[in-house]
Structure 1
């Protein structure tokens, strides 16, 4: 299994071949005689909602450098989605939250980005349940509080698929 289309078998290094299996085009290792599955990457994020809006970060990494979005990122193998969302929030903004305080907001799929697809699990929490002062840290150029209306009035660009997360967080928790 790989997160990008496989040109070579991850087990033996043999160049893969194209095949049709289970109704889809797949990569096959002719040496191992097995399908090399191309699966999406799980990600998680958390929308912190305060009186002035939803906390967003301006991305400093691809895809979408300079675009704004809800803090989040890739899950680690030993994390629940809630733990990953809380860790990413703290790494990117310095804001801490107990993962047990997070409420499931929504999910979306996105991609491809250089052949990679993601499944994003979104959570929300009221700002009162968090600690720390938001600041731009790892992978973030700036942070700010926005409502859907104030963001639309700005000249900023929202990262793909984050418009729904911003809107839902504000509607349900704002």
Structure 2
């Protein structure tokens, strides 16, 4: 199984060929007959919602590394082997923003598939938590250039842009507490 379209067999190194299998086009090794599955990468993120102002604000990060440098996202990233999705979301939140949350405090917001980029497909489990259940002040960390709370009105007036799917989650999270 690979996260990008496969070219060579991971077992024997032979160039793969396209074949029909399970009513889909798959890549298959003509030497050892291995089917190389091209599957999405699991990710997790968490929207921290601050209800202390007149309008709910959601913690977002500005991407500081590819892909999507300069685009805003809900904090999140790739799940690690052995992690539960909520643990991944909490870990990524702290790595990217310095804000910590107990994974058991997270509630599922939604799940979504990102449009593929360079053949890589991502499926993200999105969580939500109230700011009152989080600790720490937002600071840009790991792959973030900035970390801050935005209200929908502030973001709309800013001229900034979101990565695909993240704007929907941002607005969905903010709308939960209006």
TM-score range, shorter chain: over 0.9
Give the match's secondary structure for 2:27.
strand
* Aligned equivalents of 2:124, 2:63: Cα separation in 1: 16
Cα-to-partner distance string for 1:105-162 (whole Å, 9 max, x where unaligned): 0111013111100001100000110111110011000112112222111111111111
Structure 2 gap ranges (5+): none
Contact 1:126 1:173 in 2 (8 A): no
Contact 1:26 1:35 in 2 (8 A): yes
Contact 2:115 2:164 in 1 (8 A): no
State the match for 1:5 in structure 2: 5
**TM-score of the pair, normalised by structure 2:** 0.94
What is the 5 A alignment of 1:7-22?
Answer: 7-22=7-22
Give aligned pairs, total: 174
State the match for 1:40 in structure 2: 40
- Deviation of the 1:96 alpha carbon: 0.4
* Aligned equivalents of 1:173, 1:10: Cα separation in 2: 48
State the match for 1:95 in structure 2: 99
- Deviation of the 1:37 alpha carbon: 0.5
State the match for 2:83 in structure 1: 79
- Deviation of the 1:169 alpha carbon: 0.6
Q: 2:146 aligns with which of 133, 142, 145?
A: 142
* Aligned equivalents of 2:151, 2:137: Cα separation in 1: 19
* Aligned equivalents of 1:125, 1:71: Cα separation in 2: 12
Contact 1:86 1:99 in 2 (8 A): yes
Cα-to-partner distance string for 1:48-101 (whole Å, 9 max, x where unaligned): 000350000000122210000100000001100000000000000010000000
* Aligned equivalents of 2:151, 2:110: Cα separation in 1: 18
* Aligned equivalents of 2:82, 2:125: Cα separation in 1: 16
Query: Is 1:56–2:60 an aligned residue pair?
Result: yes
Deviates more, 1:79-88 or 1:54-63: 54-63
Structure 1 gap ranges (5+): none
State the match for 2:26 in structure 1: 26
- Deviation of the 1:29 alpha carbon: 0.7
Deviation above 6 Å: which 4+ runs of structure 1? none
State the match for 2:71 in structure 1: 67
**TM-score of the pair, normalised by structure 1:** 0.96
Query: Is 1:110–2:110 an aligned residue pair?
Result: no
Give the match's secondary structure for 1:87.
helix
